[in-house]
């Protein structure tokens, strides 16, 4: 209880300090929008796997400047992600000790199950709330007291920090074009792959619905964020940011949702495809362009007293 009171007092102290400081320092209120390409980084890398998609987000922010070149930025926004992952050919090996069904044994000999999924694909659609917490660095601005059109009009800026993506909803769809099951009997040095009644052979999708869909139990995604570009002064108290950005996920939000690869010894089991189970870790990465319209509030100046 004591620690909670201490934390609360500390938070209130920080907020009050920022409020007092903000009265003397410059600040910006901004609205932004951006978008670009998104992809999954698979660990370990899978040679046959690739992913690409798009994302977009918009929101608002507040920047408190400690000086003419350094500021602290926080904000909130709403975004969408749509990523397609193509794995291609996915091979699953299940040794006899992993519990192959009894009817896949032959005259007392147990075999190893080799399952091949062809054209394995997934589509992920995500909605999220974005909370950036970043530091902003920019070239020194030459303020004109009486005519803002005079002097320098463009400045370079860079922002770095973290974003917290609170995932509101995530849907996925997984599908395969065809499935092939073979059993190898080491003691007999023989293959079995034509007994379709036992789940062996090739099974083509042909609209039979070899797919799965649902939602993932994901939480908060931490993202390293970097942005840089040009800051244009387009009004007395109005700026336009034009920049590019790069985001890289720091944690794997689907780690606890992925299931181990199944033994697809039956067509019926294809209705429960394992989601991205071919990889140990997934990192989300995105890059694109961003536009930000900022309303600048200059620092309050001390009143001048004239002696007559």
For residue 78, being part of any structural domain is answered with yes
Residue whose pair of structure tokens reads 């789940």 in the numeric block: 199
Q: Which residues contact 54 (CB under 8 A, 6 or more apart)?
A: 35, 36, 37, 38, 81, 82
Q: Please give the Cα distance from 266 to 101 (Å, whole number).
A: 11
Q: Please give the Cα distance from 149 to 143 (Å, whole number).
A: 10
For residue 24, being part of any structural domain is answered with no
- The Cβ-side half-sphere exposure at 146, using a 13 Å CA radius, reads 0
Query: Which pLDDT score, from 0 to 100, does residue 212 have?
Result: 63
Query: Which pLDDT score, from 0 to 100, does residue 60 have?
Result: 94
Q: Please give the Cα distance from 88 to 117 (Å, whole number).
A: 8
Structure tokens at 303: 């009143």
Res 204 pLDDT > 90: no
Q: Please give the Cα distance from 164 to 134 (Å, whole number).
A: 11
pLDDT in tens, 131-150: 999 999 998 876 555 566 66
Q: Please give the Cα distance from 72 to 135 (Å, whole number).
A: 5
Q: Please give the Cα distance from 300 to 24 (Å, whole number).
A: 5
Q: Please give the Cα distance from 185 to 49 (Å, whole number).
A: 30
Res 241 pLDDT > 90: yes
Domain that holds residue 118: 29-297
**Cα 106 to Cα 100, 185, 200, distances in angstroms:** 12, 8, 13
Query: Which pLDDT score, from 0 to 100, does residue 186 have?
Result: 82
Q: Phi/psi class of residue 165: alpha, beta or left (left: φ > 0; alpha: ψ in -120 to 50)?
A: beta
Number of domains in the chain: 1
Query: Which pLDDT score, from 0 to 100, does residue 22 have?
Result: 46
Residue predicted with more confidence, 216 or 163: 163
For residue 20, being part of any structural domain is answered with no
Query: Which pLDDT score, from 0 to 100, does residue 7 have?
Result: 44
For residue 308, being part of any structural domain is answered with no
pLDDT in tens, 260-307: 666 666 556 655 566 666 777 888 899 999 999 999 888 776 555 444
Res 41 pLDDT > 50: yes
Res 236 pLDDT > 60: yes
Res 89 pLDDT > 90: no
For residue 303, being part of any structural domain is answered with no
> Exposed, middle or buried by CB within 10 Å (0-12, 13-18, 19+), for 176?
buried
Q: Please give the Cα distance from 102 to 265 (Å, whole number).
A: 12
pLDDT bin (cut points 50, 70, 90) of residue 46 is confident
Kindly write down the DSSP assignment for every residue of 11-36, as one continuous string: HHHHHHHHHHHHHHS-EEEEEEEEEE
For residue 176, being part of any structural domain is answered with yes
For residue 17, being part of any structural domain is answered with no
> pTM of the prediction?
0.74
State the CB neighbour count (10 A cutoff) for residue 47.
6
For residue 8, being part of any structural domain is answered with no
Rounded to the nearest integer, the mean pLDDT of the chain is 78
């Amino acid at each position: 209880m004591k620690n909670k009171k201490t934390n609360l007092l500390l938070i209130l102290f920080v907020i009050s300090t920022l409020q007092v400081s903000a009265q003397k320092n410059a600040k910006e209120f901004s609205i932004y929008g951006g978008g670009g390409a998104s992809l999954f980084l698979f660990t370990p890398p899978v040679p046959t796997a690739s992913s690409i998609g798009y994302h977009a987000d918009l929101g608002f922010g507040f920047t408190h400047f400690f000086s003419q070149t350094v500021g602290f930025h926080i904000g909130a926004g709403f975004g969408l992600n749509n990523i397609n992952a193509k794995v291609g050919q996915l091979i699953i090996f299940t040794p006899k000790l992993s519990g192959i069904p009894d009817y896949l044994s032959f005259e007392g000999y147990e075999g190893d199950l080799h399952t091949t999924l062809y054209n394995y694909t997934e589509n992920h659609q995500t909605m999220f709330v974005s909370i950036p917490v970043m530091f902003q660095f920019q070239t020194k601005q030459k303020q004109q007291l009486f005519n803002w059109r005079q002097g320098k009009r463009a400045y370079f800026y860079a922002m770095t920090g973290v974003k917290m993506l609170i995932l509101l909803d995530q849907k996925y769809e997984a599908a395969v074009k065809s499935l092939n099951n073979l059993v190898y009997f080491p003691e007999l040095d023989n293959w079995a792959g034509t007994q379709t009644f036992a789940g062996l052979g090739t099974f083509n999708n042909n609209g039979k619905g070899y797919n799965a869909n649902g939602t993932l139990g994901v939480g908060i995604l931490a993202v390293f964020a970097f942005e840089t570009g040009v800051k244009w002064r387009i009004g007395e108290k109005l700026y336009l940011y034009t920049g590019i950005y790069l985001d890289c996920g720091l944690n794997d939000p689907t780690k606890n949702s992925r299931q181990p690869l199944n033994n697809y010894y039956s067509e019926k089991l294809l209705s429960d495809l394992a989601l991205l189970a071919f990889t140990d870790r997934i990192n989300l990465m995105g890059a694109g362009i961003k536009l930000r319209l900022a309303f600048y509030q200059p620092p309050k100046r001390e009143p001048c007293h004239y002696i007559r």
